[in-house]
Amino acid sequence: MAVPALPEWDGDVAAARALQVTLAQQVSLQDELPAPLRYLAGFDVGFEDEGATTRAAAVVLDADTLQPLESQVARIPTRMPYIPGLLSFRELPALLAALDRLERQPDLVFVDGHGIAHPRGLGIAAHFGVATGLPSIGVAKKVLAGQHEPPGPTPGDRSPLRYRGRVIGTVLRSKARCLPLIVSPGHKVSMETAVAQVLRCLRGYRLPEPTRLADRLASRRDTK
């Protein structure tokens, strides 16, 4: 599918943070999913050449069976250093390049990273959703902003992630004896639907299938 172009990184951190605040106002937390869902997609990013190349992986799955249907990898020069809170400016161009290679347009996207569970409400999954218009969910492994109580030990146990008086995500136990995931809406998905979709995509692993498969491809455990 055709994807939008992003402006070049000019090193202006303050301007990037201000843009995050502006774009976060465009995030919708209302469910705008097609029915029925046909295609899910998982996206993740890795790096090659000692960080000089950004490698983005996209995997499309059948929404009913969770069988993988298509995978793509895009490699582009890494355009900026890692800056906490500005991950999407570093990784989103490669993710959009991988999306552009897909033959099937996903109905719902799972991104390895945060949705609105971000200090300025625009993690990489939210930025991805606003940039493309696709419904998106963030599935992260660590908290970036907020506080929470530990969820119970049983898969499906959860606790709210709160930041400055509002709930920005869900801390979800996806597998027994494993650290929980941080699930948050990205765009066009409610908090409840984000959690429900992640739970529906679990197949005995810590990660839901879309991001688990994308993680394997991005980290080169599966090659392409």
Is 157 annotated as contributing to ligand binding?
Answer: no
Is 44 annotated as contributing to ligand binding?
Answer: yes
Pair of tokens at residue 65: 């069976």
SS3 assignment, position 111: strand
Annotated binding-site members for Mg(2+) = 44, 112
Annotated binding-site members = 44, 112
